[in-house]
Amino acid sequence: MPSNKQRREAARRHVERQLQRREEQEAARRRFTLIASIVGSIIMIVLVTVFVVVLTREDKKTPAAAGGTSPAPSTAPGTPRATAAPLPLGTCEFVAGGQAAKKVIVPPDKAPTNSGLVLARVGTTQGTLTFALDPAKAPCAVANFLSLARQGYYDNSPCHRLVTSGLSVLQCGDPTGTGSGGPGYTFNDEVTGKEKYTAGVLAMAKTSAPNTAGSQFFIVYKDTQLPPDYTIFGKVERGLDVVTKVAAKGSTPAGDGKPKLPITITSVSIAQ
């Protein structure tokens, strides 16, 4: 039978074990609280960082980015004119906006509406094309092309984009070869709503916003379905086989990208 001393010793050890368990539990609680606080802080930092990044990206969105999922011929965002209402035929509105890929003189705001075609001989590294420009249908676009061509703007400019999936177009007219270059201005659309983009058509590239054409244009090498938003200013009279040869080699990435067979405009001469 335990003596009183033994019982007191056993009671003391029991109390010490209880105190030790309580200290361990308290230490565990403090560790848990500290870890939870750290994790919570990390989560808060991550959420704030994500919010700031998303907000910054939203602020930097442009009209071109908004339409970035479309394969339609597009250019870098420009500054369109104040109103989208059509102007009288031959009345042009050139609006300054963006940095010019090459320094050029802006064309006059009145363009000839001659009924005859204007021929342009376009030399490229893959062969020669002849453009038949139609000032009776798109006087501003024709005057703009002629002005840029005579100033040497298109000389040594690569055709930077080939689309073979969904559309059949070769896009040219940016001296930088990036798709973001322009003449430092935009001008008004000349569309009727009845445009058909059949093989051989020449049309102005633009953003999804109206009146944002500049220097870039596209050549349709096979009948293509597009909304009637792109100004048709002529057709390829001769040399479309040059474009189909380039298209046959495909692009990088496939379907919509840089032509695998490089093609660069070396010169443009206008028949007087």
**Residue ranges covered by each domain of the chain:** 1-60, 68-270
Name the DSSP letter for residue 211: S
Per-residue pLDDT tens for 108-139?
Answer: 999 988 889 999 999 999 999 999 999 999 99
180 falls in which pLDDT band (50, 70, 90)? very high
**Mean local confidence (pLDDT), 210-221:** 97
Give the C-alpha separation, 16 to 216, whole Å. Answer: 87
Give the C-alpha separation, 269 to 150, whole Å. Answer: 7
Give CATH for domain 68-270.
2.40.100.10
61 falls in which pLDDT band (50, 70, 90)? very low
Name the DSSP letter for residue 87: P
pLDDT at 113: 86
What pTM was estimated for this model as a whole?
Answer: 0.72
Per-residue pLDDT tens for 150-170?
Answer: 999 999 999 999 999 999 999
The residue that leads in pLDDT, 78 or 97, is 97
Instruction: Kindly give, in sequence order, each residue whose CB lies less than 8 Å from that of residue 214, ignoring residues fewer than 6 positions away.
Output: 75, 78, 98, 182, 183, 185, 186, 187, 206
